[in-house]
Amino acid sequence: MLFAFRFSLFAFRFSLFAFRFSLFAFRFSLFAFRFILLKDEFSDKSILFFAVYFNFYKKQSIKVFIIITILKIYFSSKN
């Protein structure tokens, strides 16, 4: 009984940690999206930023990078 309670408490704390990390990841991706779209062109800082960003999101980062690049080209062609 005590083991089950401790395990459920551990699982709850781990789920809270996972939820906080997912919120951090979401905020980080929004920041990256804003950072790249507001730049006029890709600079060394934005490339370095995406290198750090790739370490956080190995699989999804390529999709995000492609979407941001397409949106950046679209918005730059409007001006």
| CA distances to 4, 5, 12, 39 from 68, in Å | 46, 46, 35, 11
Q: Check if the beta carbon of residue 43 is closer than 8 Å to that of residue 36.
A: no
Please give the average per-residue pLDDT across 8-17, as a whole number. Answer: 83
pTM: 0.39
33, two tokens: 């999206």
Q: Which domain holds residue 57?
A: 2-78
What is residue 19's predicted lDDT score, i.e. its pLDDT?
81
Number of domains in the chain: 1
Per-residue pLDDT reduced to its tens digit, 27-56: 777 777 666 666 655 555 566 566 666 665
The DSSP annotation for 16-52 comes to: HHHHHHHHHHHHHHHHHHHHHHHSSS--HHHHHHHHH
16 vs 43, which has greater pLDDT?
16
Question: What's the pLDDT score for residue 70?
Answer: 73
Q: How many residues does the chain have?
A: 79
Give the mean pLDDT of the chain: 70
